[in-house]
């Protein structure tokens, strides 16, 4: 394997964006041969049109995916070339006098506005060297390298082309497959949204204020922080923001920060190069790259480990990131929506969430009220869930509600919010056997009632908050026999991270080398 092959392969496979990979390869090739532009094209023989998939020149890489009509004369010559390339893949040199190159200059002027504005004549001489790009024996397209001037390419450049056409062919095939996958994924997302209703119930009721805020923030690029109890619809709101944003044609990619082990978090966010760590058998694309041009929804952001918080902050500040084990700096082209059911401000005070990251995310906080505070939405939600669950469950009938059923729902505190209501409707449908739906018995259990505890103050306050906190820490240390971390340790009993507990012990002057006094 030649060094040229290795270097070009490394560059052309460095990114799923064919245009940036092509620009990387172009920068390398420009150092070893005359070069002003590199083009990856394919031809539609039915329509007699050329498709420019990507091009790279001094200004950078551009992904075009544009169809251009070609004159009949040129098309015939292209047909001959295409047929010959099928039989014999030797690269072709075309000098500045070749008629195809005259047509090529016309196309280059069309694709590159900067060429049009250069002094007349400076771009009118053009040599090209091109080769067919094949994958599994099929011609997928062509690589055309072009330089302004006369008779610039010779046999040594043919050897370069022979070396590099294979990785270019594979990269083109992968890029086309990736594009298909993205298209499939978007279609699937559309279908899923249609199946689940793709509507935010309550937009004109209990969520009307939320709806107004969504409409105000969606057109901007600002990060949004969604706050609300579990199941209130934070993901639904994130979807609405994305849908109404200028990024709506791009992907909406979700990462549940609470579901990824800490050791894999960097790789999930930023991707990794093959061999970056034990088990990294393949290069993997992270969520930042997958969300490129769209929105990255970071759910359960409060669960993001400290080390990952630092890295996320760095990306939000610089707009750049690298894959784990990679050397190439990539631009982050995403809009961030984060969500949490936790009190991030308290976490910042406690030292478990970085204050600088909180400031970055807290640009536009949007609170979604719990369902018990917008019971007016319950009837429409029940209707909506009955409609969609009967479809999903392939039921031939659509049951109605029994008398008093709605009243029972309106009276319930809904600790699990909309998700709990959705599950309840599904359970009632399964049990109904076609009879009117009733919920009373399903609700007949001691629900964990949020916000219903009545606090009674029987004693006056004695001491400050710090005094109380220090006293609790001492008690927890006594109960855990001085053990700070681990199961049944003081940190565990207090619901704190051991490091947080240690820093608080330092703050309150609590030491462990002698018996801890409770008071």
Ligand X SMILES: Nc1ncnc2c1ncn2[C@@H]1O[C@H](COP(=O)(O)OP(=O)(O)OP(=O)(O)O)[C@@H](O)[C@H]1O
The footprint of ligand X (CB under 6 A) covers 196, 200-202, 207, 228, 230-236, 299, 341, 418-419, 422
Minimum distance from residue 41 beta carbon to ligand X (Å): 44
Minimum distance from residue 219 beta carbon to ligand X (Å): 21
Minimum distance from residue 381 beta carbon to ligand X (Å): 6
CB of 37 or CB of 416, closer to ligand X = 416
Minimum distance from residue 340 beta carbon to ligand X (Å): 8
Minimum distance from residue 22 beta carbon to ligand X (Å): 39
- Secondary structure class of 162 (helix, strand, coil): helix
CB of 74 or CB of 417, closer to ligand X = 417
CB of 127 or CB of 241, closer to ligand X = 241
Assigned token pair, 117: 């504005």
Q: How far is CA 196 from CA 40, 320, 390, 465, in A?
A: 41, 35, 12, 48
CB of 234 or CB of 372, closer to ligand X = 234
- Residue-by-residue DSSP string for 431-490: HHTTSPB--HHHH-S----TT-PPP---S---S-HHHHHHHHHHHHHHHTTT--SSTTSH
Say which DSSP state 14 is in.
S
Minimum distance from residue 422 beta carbon to ligand X (Å): 5
CB of 424 or CB of 491, closer to ligand X = 424
CB of 433 or CB of 448, closer to ligand X = 448
CB of 129 or CB of 238, closer to ligand X = 238
- Residue-by-residue DSSP string for 178-243: HHHHHHHHHHHHHHHHHHTTS--TTTTTTTHHHHHHHHHHTTS---EEEE--TTSSHHHHHHHHHH
The long-range contacts involving 447-455, CB below 8 angstroms and separated by at least 24 positions, are 447/412, 447/413, 447/415, 448/415, 449/413, 449/415, 450/229, 450/370, 450/372, 450/413, 450/415, 451/372, 451/413, 452/413
Minimum distance from residue 326 beta carbon to ligand X (Å): 31
Minimum distance from residue 201 beta carbon to ligand X (Å): 4
CB of 123 or CB of 232, closer to ligand X = 232
Residue nearest to ligand X (CB): 233
CB of 245 or CB of 422, closer to ligand X = 422
What ranges make up the beta strands (E) of 106-179? 127-135, 138-147
SS3 labels along 22-62: HHHHHHHHHCCCCCCEEEEEEEECCCCEEEEEEEEECCEEE
Minimum distance from residue 218 beta carbon to ligand X (Å): 16
d(CA 516, CA 476): 10
The gap from C-alpha 182 to its chain's centroid, in whole angstroms, comes to 12
d(CA 294, CA 279): 29
**Cβ neighbours of residue 280 closer than 8 Å, sequence gap 6 or more:** 267, 272, 273, 274, 324, 325
Minimum distance from residue 299 beta carbon to ligand X (Å): 5
CB of 66 or CB of 229, closer to ligand X = 229
């Amino acid at each position: 394997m030649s060094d040229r092959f290795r270097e070009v392969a490394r560059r052309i496979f460095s990114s799923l964006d064919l245009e940036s990979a092509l620009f990387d390869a172009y920068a390398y090739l420009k150092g070893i041969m005359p070069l002003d532009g590199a083009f990856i094209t394919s031809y539609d023989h039915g329509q007699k049109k050329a498709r420019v998939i990507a091009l790279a020149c001094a200004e950078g890489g551009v992904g075009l995916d544009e169809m251009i009509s070609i004159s009949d004369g040129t098309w015939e010559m292209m047909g001959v070339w295409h047929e010959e390339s099928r039989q014999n893949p030797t690269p072709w040199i075309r000098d500045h006098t070749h008629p195809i190159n005259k047509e090529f200059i016309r196309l280059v002027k069309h694709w590159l506005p900067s060429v049009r504005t250069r002094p007349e004549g400076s771009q009118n001489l053009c040599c090209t060297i091109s080769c067919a790009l094949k994958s599994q024996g099929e011609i997928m397209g062509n690589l055309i390298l072009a330089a302004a001037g006369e008779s610039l390419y010779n046999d040594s450049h043919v050897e370069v082309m022979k070396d590099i056409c294979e990785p270019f062919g594979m990269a083109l095939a992968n890029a086309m497959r990736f594009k298909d996958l993205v298209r499939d994924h978007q279609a699937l997302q559309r279908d899923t949204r249609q199946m689940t209703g793709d509507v935010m119930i309550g937009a004109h009721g209990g969520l009307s204020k939320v709806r107004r805020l969504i409409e105000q923030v969606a057109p901007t690029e600002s990060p949004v922080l969604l706050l609300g109890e579990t199941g209130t619809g934070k993901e639904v709101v994130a979807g609405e923001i994305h849908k109404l944003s200028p990024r709506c044609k791009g992907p909406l990619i979700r990462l549940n920060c609470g579901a990824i082990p800490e050791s894999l978090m960097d790789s999930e966010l930023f991707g990794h190069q093959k061999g970056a760590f034990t088990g990294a058998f393949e290069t993997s694309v992270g969520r930042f790259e997958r969300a490129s041009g769209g929105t990255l929804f970071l759910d359960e952001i409060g669960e993001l480990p400290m080390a990952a918080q630092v890295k996320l902050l760095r990306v939000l500040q610089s707009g750049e990131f690298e894959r784990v084990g990679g050397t190439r700096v990539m631009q982050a082209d995403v809009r961030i929506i984060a969500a949490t059911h936790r009190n991030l401000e308290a976490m910042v005070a406690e030292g478990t969430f970085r204050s600088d990251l909180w400031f970055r995310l807290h640009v536009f906080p949007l609170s979604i009220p719990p369902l018990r505070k917008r019971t007016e939405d319950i009837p429409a939600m029940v209707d909506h869930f009955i409609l969609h669950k009967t479809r999903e469950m392939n039921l031939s009938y659509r049951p109605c509600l029994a008398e008093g059923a709605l009243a029972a729902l309106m009276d319930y505190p809904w600790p699990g919010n909309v998700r709990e209501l959705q599950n309840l409707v599904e359970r009632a449908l399964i049990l109904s056997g076609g009879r009117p739906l009733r919920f009373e018995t399903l609700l007949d259990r001691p629900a964990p009632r949020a916000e219903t505890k009545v606090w009674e103050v029987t004693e006056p306050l004695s001491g400050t908050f710090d005094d109380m906190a220090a006293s609790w820490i001492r008690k927890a240390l006594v109960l855990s026999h001085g053990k700070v971390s681990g199961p049944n340790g003081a940190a565990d009993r207090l619901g704190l991270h051991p490091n947080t507990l240690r820093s608080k012990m330092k703050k309150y002057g609590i030491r462990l080398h002698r018996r801890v006094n409770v008071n």
